Amino acid sequence: MKIAITTTGDNLNAPMDARFGRAQKFIVYDLDSNSFEVVDNQQNLNAIQGAGIQSAEAVAKTGARAVLTGHCGPKAFRALSAAGIKIYNISGATVSEAIEKFRSGQIAEAVSADVEGHWS
Amino acid sequence: MIIAIASGKGGTGKTTISVGLAWALGSSAVLLDCDVEEPNAHIFLAPEFQESESVNLLVPLVDESKCTGCGLCGKICRYNAIAMLNQKPLVFSEMCHACGGCALVCPVGAISEVPRAIGVVERGFAGAVEFVHGRLNIGQVFAPPLIRAVRKYAKADKITIVDSPPGTSCPVIAAIRGSDFVILATEPTPFGLHDLTLAVEMTRALKIPFGVAVNRVGIGDDRVRRYCAEQNIPIVLEIPDDRRIAEAYSRGEFLTDAAPEYGALFKALPERLANMARGC
């Protein structure tokens, strides 16, 4: 199973990006093969509107089945849910710490958006 | 003649001037309150509304039995209102600007356009003053189509006064476009000057003749005045920083209630502005 983690960097030691829609990058991590790829989200960083929706579309294209991020707004939540992608809110961790927490079942699945749109 | 009252900074006297001018002109005035996100001219004029119409946008509705999941609709949408997820378009109609592009590019005719109400236009009279305003529905963010619906009630044979929203973005452009003269209200403070310069750039880009109204004269400094002199911008109106005017405003009264001398000034204003617009 693949999971997507929002990040500001391009390796597993990089800090997470607290934002989902305007996250700088996604690390798409394959839990089975322990390999990952970096997906740039630059085009959504500067979107006039609907960054969360487009980020959800970008994540869906990678085949990820779960998103680990700081915060997720209502439109992104609706889009991710429509794609069957689960959302996990986690803050202040590096990418690898987030993956370990997810793997050991320490983070609960979000059941709704945890912030309004444009929260930052 | 259409006179729009706009400003960069909010709270500089657009409504004070708009309703004062309309009230002084009486039966020869039509007031269009185009600040549809927070209309307030009706608080002063207390009009009786005779008509109300709903304003709709046409937004996409996808027939999933016809959709092949090609994704062209999502690609053409500049406003990210359609996401392709699991080969199915998911429409966020609140993001839609109703351009119709998605229905046009759909190769199998799976998208029809359905009306979505964004607000209402209400019309009536306040005494002899003809009054029209728009009210954007709560939760809606896309104001220009509703503003254009209000603007349709501009009358060629009357003095049409457009009370614009503040700022310099799309709603303001929708409100002031097509006016014969724009009054830019400001206050003599650094903040007022800063936002005035933005409003001046906007009005110049639209090629509409304009002048400045300075409100609360006496506070701040003289930089607004100096800026206008340097830029050859006429100051068409000055309102002093007078507690009586503020008190009248807070009671929902007109400027002319607190300062009757503005009655004659307002009555003469349209002709002065028309002369300025002609370059006399």
B90 and A78 within 8 Å at the Cβ level: the answer is yes
Distance CA B21, CA B16 (A): 8
Residue B102 contacts A where some CB pair is shorter than 8 Å: no
Dihedral over Cα of B139, B140, B141, B147: its sign: negative
- The pLDDT assigned to B57 comes to 93
pLDDT value for A44 = 77
- Nearest to residue B80, comparing CAs of A29, A73, A85? A73
B90 Cβ under 8 Å from any chain A Cβ: yes
Compute the mean pLDDT over every residue in chain B, rounded to the nearest whole number. Answer: 95
Structure-model confidence comparison of residues B120 and A91, the more confident one: B120
Domain ranges for chain B? 2-55+118-278, 64-109
Q: Tell me how many helices (H) and strands (E) chain B has.
A: 11, 11
Domain B64-109 sits in CATH at 3.30.70.20
Nearest 5°: the CA angle B130, B135, B136 is 150
- Inter-chain contact B74–A57, Cβ cutoff 8 Å? yes
CA angle B25, B26, B32 (to 5 degrees): 85
The pLDDT assigned to A92 comes to 76
Which pLDDT score is estimated for B64?
93
pLDDT score for B141: 84
Q: B82 pLDDT exceeds 80?
A: yes
- pLDDT reading at A45 higher than 90: no
State which residue of chain A sits closest to B92, comparing Cα positions: A75
User: pLDDT by residue (tens digit) across B55-70?
Assistant: 999 999 999 999 999 9
Which CATH fold topology does B2-55+118-278 show? Rossmann fold (3.40.50)
**pLDDT at residue B140, rounded to an integer:** 87
Model confidence at A119, pLDDT cuts 50, 70, 90, reads low
Q: What is the mean pLDDT of residues B117-130?
A: 97
pLDDT-based confidence at residue A64 (cuts at 50, 70, 90): very high
* Sheet-wide strand order for A66-69: A35-40, A25-30, A2-7, A66-69, A86-89
Domains and CATH numbers, chain A: 2-103 (3.30.420.130)
Does B90 contact A47 at a Cβ distance shorter than 8 Å? Answer: no
Say if A86 is an interface residue toward chain B (CB within 8 Å).
no
What integer pLDDT is reported at residue B280 of this predicted model? 60
